[in-house]
Amino acid sequence: MLKEESIKALLRDVPDFPKPGILFKDITPLLAEPEARKWVVTEIANHFRDQKIDAVAAVEARGFIFGMLLAEALDVAFVPVRKAGKLPYHKIREEYDLEYGKASIEMHVDALKPGCRVLIHDDLLATGGTAGAAGNLIHKLGGVVAGYSFIINLAFLPGEAILTNKFGVRPHYLVKYE
């Protein structure tokens, strides 16, 4: 069984990406390890298995990787949350602040049914901007934010508190950097 330190050992720090002063946490080495990938999916899926999740909404692009695997493991729908301009059908949009700028994400208007309990997944929690925006999209479509899952929490940034206060749902993550 893997532990937090084993997962951290599979994460690569990339300084000054995507801009100077940012230390990017790269999950690519983790993706190359089948045992570690399986452990990540199993740990997150087991945490949410009894919470009556109807769909996993995952944020482009790194969130898609484990988001789809989580949807498979939980046997629920997968909802892509994409960068603005990437979805082909009728959509709703939410703008938000990043730790290094502004961005927008979108979902299809028919991505979920009202009352649908949604697990929002992304690879990393920093300021909570992206995940919070995804939560806003879920609410606009009448869904319920049932949970947040992340591989990495940058606990020195306010994301965990922001998401907990915004939707009353404490984010779940596997590794934390303080």
Cα–Cα nearest to 143, from 109, 112, 103, 178: 112
Predicted pLDDT at 167 = 87
Place 102 in a pLDDT band, splitting at 50, 70 and 90: confident
Cα–Cα nearest to 94, from 84, 86, 85: 84
Residue 101 pLDDT > 80, yes or no? no
pTM to 2 decimal places: 0.95
pLDDT tens column, 53-63 = 999 999 999 99
Q: Which two tokens stand for residue 148?
A: 């947040």
> Is 99 considered catalytic here?
yes
Task: Check 33, 43, 60, 99 and give the catalytic one.
Answer: 99
pLDDT tens column, 21-47 = 889 999 999 999 999 999 999 999 999
Task: Check 62, 106, 117, 160 and give the catalytic one.
Answer: 62
Q: Which two tokens stand for residue 44?
A: 């997150």
CATH of domain 51-177: 3.40.50.2020
pLDDT tens column, 123-160 = 999 999 999 999 999 999 999 999 999 999 999 999 99
Give me the phi and psi of 64, to 5 degrees please: -60, -35
- CA atoms of 89 and 81, how far apart (whole Å): 13
> Is 62 considered catalytic here?
yes
Chain centroid to CA 32: 20
Predicted pLDDT at 131 = 96
SS3 59: strand
